[in-house]
């Protein structure tokens, strides 16, 4: 007795999109396609071809898709289900225990990339430090996009560090990744760094994230910045950057859109100059940059 053919990709995607949308998933169709492509081990473009051709999906694969779909309906992050997160053209390994990199952080990474490229274009070998690296998304992007750079990164949380180590080994094996506190790390690099970049924890204590994917699955250590304004950890990042940067070196730090004024206050002392705000792709204040004051060839701060 032959078994009945499996459902078509088109039917699976239509039903999944409806169910995800009913669960409040904003990107229901995209998520459904990415989950089914993951189960079938094909690229999303190939999945769309299979949907047009109407080829049947193996019943076992369809059952696996339903399992993942149920988890996504429960608002488990898509990236935890596929084990991958896209970042500036890279595919990073992510999962429980590490902050999932967001598209807005790609802009922050781009500011650091531009600054490092400027040093390289002048004939230097830029020294770059990523504080609070999480999955190592920014650090790996820098190492890949600026081959001349010597990139260093540090993460405090052992679980996040393990994910970062996996990404470094796969994508940027020459990167110097350390486990430790960003405030005290890299004493061997004091005064030698061209660019410090950070996406630190910065959520204020009362600002609980709305999305369940963030609130229930991103590690609290990666979210909440401490202090009444959420900027205690970012202030420690600024202090570390002041120690690490050479005169004229650039700091880029990510923050929430409501923290732009607070970020500027962190950099208002005589040790900093050229303070500038930068907006993300949605036009929201997302990062602040500044140069370390003192003698030295200043870096051009990229335009917002």
Residues annotated within the binding site for S-adenosyl-L-methionine are 155, 199
Report the candidate in 186, 190, 96, 92 with the shortest Cα–Cα distance to residue 143: 92
- Compute φ and ψ for 232, nearest 5 degrees: -65, -50
Cα separation, 291 vs 251, in Å, equals 6
Q: Report how far Cα 213 is from the mean position of its chain's Cα atoms.
A: 15
CA dihedral 107, 110, 112, 114 (to 10 degrees): -140
Q: Which residues are annotated as a binding site?
A: 155, 199-202
- For 86-97, give the DSSP string: EETTEEEE--TT
Which of the 8 DSSP states describes residue 24? T
Other Cβ atoms less than 10 A from the Cβ of 238: the count is 25
Residue 216 neighbours by CB under 8 Å, 6+ apart: 75
Report the candidate in 129, 187, 132 with the shortest Cα–Cα distance to residue 157: 132
- Maximal C-alpha separation, the chain: 83
Cα separation, 15 vs 120, in Å, equals 51
225, 204 contact by CB (below 8 A): yes
Tokens encoding 66: 């339903």
Cα separation, 81 vs 77, in Å, equals 7
107, 281 contact by CB (below 8 A): yes
Q: Which residues are annotated as a binding site for substrate?
A: 199-202
């Amino acid at each position: 007795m032959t078994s009945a053919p499996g459902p078509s990709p088109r039917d699976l995607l239509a039903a999944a999109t409806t169910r995800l949308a009913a669960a409040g998933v904003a990107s229901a169709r995209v998520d459904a396609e990415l989950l089914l492509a993951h189960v079938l081990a094909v690229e999303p473009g190939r999945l769309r071809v299979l949907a047009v051709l109407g080829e049947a999906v193996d019943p076992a694969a369809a059952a696996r898709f339903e399992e993942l779909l149920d988890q996504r309906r429960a608002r488990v992050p898509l990236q935890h289900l596929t084990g991958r997160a896209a970042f500036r053209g890279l595919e990073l390994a992510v999962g429980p225990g590490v902050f999932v990199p967001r598209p807005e952080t790609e802009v922050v990474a781009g500011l650091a990339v531009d600054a490092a490229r400027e040093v390289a274009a002048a004939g230097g070998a830029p020294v770059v430090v990523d504080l609070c690296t999480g999955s190592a998304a920014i650090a790996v992007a820098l190492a890949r996009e600026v081959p001349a750079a010597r990139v260093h990164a540090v993460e405090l949380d052992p679980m996040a560090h393990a994910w970062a180590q996996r990404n470094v080994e796969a994508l940027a094996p020459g990167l110097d990744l350390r486990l430790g506190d960003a405030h005290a790390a890299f004493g061997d690099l004091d005064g030698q760094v061209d660019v410090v970049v950070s996406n630190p924890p910065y959520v204020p204590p009362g600002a609980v994230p709305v999305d369940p994917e963030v609130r229930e699955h991103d590690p609290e250590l990666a979210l909440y910045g401490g202090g009444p304004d959420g900027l205690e950890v970012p202030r420690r990042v600024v202090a570390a950057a002041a120690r690490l940067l050479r005169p004229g070196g650039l700091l880029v730090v990510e923050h929430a859109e409501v923290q732009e004024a607070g970020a500027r206050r962190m950099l208002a002392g005589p040790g900093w100059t050229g303070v500038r705000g930068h907006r993300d792709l949605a036009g929201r204040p997302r990062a602040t940059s500044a140069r370390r004051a003192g003698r030295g060839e200043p870096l051009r701060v990229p335009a917002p």
